[in-house]
Chains A and B, each alone.
Chain A
């Protein structure tokens, strides 16, 4: 008697796919995000910035996320509370990479902080991207507030909050789980944890007792899932389903994405490429070639195009002036009148 054949989750994931045009778009954005991060690192190493932190290794999750959001300002659109590894998402939403270069250079023209904050600390009110800050947890306690306003407002706008595995040790993560899951008062929030299995220099095992972080959602009745964050097809499909659930049901969803950290925590740990973690871009390119979606030559051309374009932008940004010293007094309080 033959035993039933088990389809492994790996096989199942490979069986899923997306339209070739979408695969090509995701690839293009992943390359763009990687090239941008590598340029930011280079700027740091060449002395054109004081500190680098970012998300190389998270492109296979962050790019699909950016493609799936409802972009815009106000309650009818999605609100974003991110940590500092979200370049891929912002680029996938259509942002010009020059802004990230300007922030790295702490130029007056930095559109996110006017030269005040680190790389990757985005803010874009036009698209509901709330200010990113350096504490690794605070965004989780702010997310219920925007989600509450959205639930009250109606429509299908949701709140998306992202953070890392290490940040879930902070109480704000529990705050997010508690406040978003109160019975009858559930909130439309997609709670994302990108798990790179590191907290600066300490390994996951040294910081966590739980097997998967997503398991913590179960105690609160929150739908939860762990996905392979190095596979953009799997993340796209999983995010699509999770986001649809949050939009329609107006309830929370906890998604943990297993990702890589390809250049360490930040420039403080050297910002050198680590060879022993999965490179989601290399893996995706191998698959695209095998499935004849793109040739090696075409993919190389994509990389060259973004490398040239972003390098050229970086050269221009290097000449841009620093903020005026007197500008420290600006924006302590709101200068925009009634909003």
Chain B
């Protein structure tokens, strides 16, 4: 099974060969490194940019205006904040000119905690990007979704923010990427650049015959069926929610788990259907909890499904502190981990009208 980094790499390879992607670029994206997380190794159209995030987003906008199809990377989302007004510009370009221009561009940026990244390699971006209209925003939690969401993103006529969770880039899924050989070692030999100090200058990947697979933007995934309550999450916390649900099954708690996958425009129908069935919902993400995207989902749940609810909708999110501290104890205390999710599900289950 491919890990998420390999899955994205294969998707980008497929996209540059078949979907018209012209440029995969950003800091350390091209050779020799091929991305801080190896996501862009061996890609034909990958190139290194200056260490200039505003330049990267600006260049992506320019390339898209000129009819190209760029995938621009911001190496860590923590460094995207000085380009936020360019993200706003990308989001309002089509609307502002009343539909004269459009921007088919993808910005890819690893998000979230889980690699002991301290204050500037642990940020989340879901609250911020869902506050910038005009974008699609996606966050995969499995390699196959990462592959399928990237193919959909690369076919879009609008800007797409593609946010792989850092903590999951090295994790493997339970499903094969269509076309991958199925043997981890064989895949690594084919598409992973030789690690340093090996000379990579003559290395060329041997891509498997990839088969397209699209995860449509705006479609959530029912990860686990349940009857007592609904847990809606995405990204790093999604596998933890799934694990919590499995664990609590033994206590007789039946939790339904939904992977939102696309944050905007999100799959309200999936949430509505599940919450209508269970009457209880917990939203889990790791962005800071004040003006959190989950708060919007709670507002909508409360407004639209009030009479179906059996308990107040809950949010488990990151603590509202300025950063995530480096020490294990600090990181674990700052963003939701398995024990807190288990406790939150248990507490929600215990609530009765």
> Quick check: is A313 within 8 A (CB to CB) of the other chain?
no
B50 and A141 contact, CB distance less than 8 A? no
Other A-B contacts than A75-B66, A114-B99, A135-B85, 10 sampled, CB-CB below 8 A, are A112-B97, A116-B96, A117-B97, A138-B86, A141-B57, A145-B61, A159-B62, A331-B95, A332-B133, A336-B157
Decide if A330 is an interface residue (CB 8 Å cutoff). Answer: yes
Residue numbers of A with Cβ under 8 A of B are 74-75, 79, 81, 110, 112-114, 116-117, 121, 123-125, 130-131, 133, 135, 138, 140-150, 159, 171-172, 175, 178-179, 182, 330-339
Give the number of A-B contacts (CB < 8 Å): 141
Q: Which residues of chain B are near A144, meaning CB under 8 Å?
A: 55, 58-59, 62
* Contact present for B102 and A336 (CB under 8 Å): yes
Does B54 make an interface contact (CB < 8 A)?
yes
- List, in ascending order, chain B residues with CB within 8 A of A112's CB: 97-98, 100
What separation, in Å, do the CA atoms of A150 and B22 have in the docked complex? 13
Q: How far is the CA of A121 from the CA of B92 in the complex (A)?
A: 13
Task: Report chain A residues within 8 Å CB of B26.
Answer: none
Our pick among A123, A150, A182, A339 for the contact of B157 (Cβ within 8 Å) is A339
Closest chain A CB from B30 CB (angstroms) = 12
B158 & A333 in contact (Cβ 8 Å cutoff): yes
A336–B102 alpha-carbon span in the complex (Å): 9
How near does chain A come to B17, taking the closest CB pair, in angstroms? 17
Identify A130's interface contact among B57, B65, B99, CB under 8 A. B65
Q: How far is the CB of A110 from chain B (nearest CB, A)?
A: 8
- Contact, CB under 8 Å: A116 / B67: no
Contact A145 B64 (CB under 8 A): yes
CA distance A333 to B104 in the complex (A): 11
Residues of B57-110 at the interface with A, using a CB-CB cut-off of 8 Å, are 57-68, 70, 82, 85-86, 89, 92-102, 104
Among candidates B22, B58, B68, B70, residue contacting A141 with C-beta atoms closer than 8 Å: B58
> In whole angstroms, what is the CA distance A175 to B61 when docked?
14
Can you sample 9 A-B contacts with CB below 8 Å? Answer: A79-B65, A114-B98, A121-B96, A135-B89, A138-B86, A141-B59, A144-B59, A159-B62, A336-B102
Task: Please tell me if the beta carbons of B94 and A334 are within 8 angstroms of each other in the complex.
Answer: yes
Contact A117 B96 (CB under 8 A): yes
Knowing A142-B62, A175-B58, say if A332 contacts B100 (CB, 8 Å).
no
- Confirm or deny: B180 has a beta carbon within 8 angstroms of a beta carbon on chain A: no
B267 located at the interface, meaning its Cβ lies under 8 Å from any Cβ of chain A in the complex = no
Q: Counting CB contacts under 8 A, is B52 at the interface?
A: yes
Contact B100 A179 (CB under 8 A): no
CB-defined contacts of B92 to chain A, threshold 8 Å = 133
Give bound CA distance, A172 to B85, whole Å. 12
Residue contact B66 to A331, C-beta cutoff 8 Å: no
Separation of A117 and B70 alpha carbons in the complex (Å): 27
Q: Are B85 and A138 in contact (CB under 8 A)?
A: yes
| B34 interface residue per 8 A CB criterion | no
Kindly state the separation between the CA atoms of A79 and B63 in the bound complex, as whole angstroms. 11
A112 to B95, CA, bound (A): 11
Residue of A nearest to B82 (CB): A171
- In the assembled complex, the CB of B287 is this many whole angstroms from the nearest CB of chain A, namely 23
Select which of A81, A131, A135, A178 is within 8 A of B97 by beta carbon: A131
- Tell me the nearest residue of chain B to A323, going by C-beta: B98
Complex CA gap A150/B85 in Å reads 25
Give Cα A218–Cα B55 distance, bound, in whole angstroms: 20
Tell me which of A141, A159, A336 contacts B54 (CB under 8 A).
A141
Q: Is the CB of B63 within 8 A of A178?
A: no
Instruction: Report the bound CA distance from A117 to B101 in whole Å.
Output: 15
Assess A131 versus B66: contact at CB under 8 Å? Given A117-B96, A141-B59, A333-B158: no
CB distance from B190 to the nearest CB of A (A): 29
On whether the beta carbons of A150 and B59 are closer than 8 Å, the reply is no
Query: B313 interface residue, CB < 8 Å from A?
Result: no
User: Which residues on A sit within 8 Å (CB–CB) of B96?
Assistant: 113, 116-117, 121, 123, 131, 133
Establish whether residues B134 and A148, one from each chain, have CB atoms under 8 Å apart when the complex forms: no
Cα separation A135 to B54 with both chains bound (whole Å): 14
Q: Is the CB of A141 within 8 A of B66?
A: no
Kindly list the 3 A-B residue pairs having the minimum CB-CB distance in the complex, ordered from nearest. Answer: A145-B62, A141-B58, A114-B98
Contact B101 A142 (CB under 8 A): no
Complex contact A146–B62 (CB within 8 A): yes
Most buried by A among B50, B63, B97, B99: B97
> Which of chain B's residues have a CB closer than 8 A to the CB of A172?
54-55, 58
Q: Among A146, A179, A330, point to the contact of B66 (Cβ < 8 A).
A: A146
- Nearest Cβ on chain B to A114's Cβ, whole angstroms: 3
Q: How far is the CA of A149 from the CA of B104 in the complex (A)?
A: 14
Q: Which residues of B contact A338 (CB under 8 A)?
A: 157
Query: Which partner residue on chain A sits nearest B60 by CB separation?
Result: A145
* Chain B residue nearest in CB terms to A328: B95
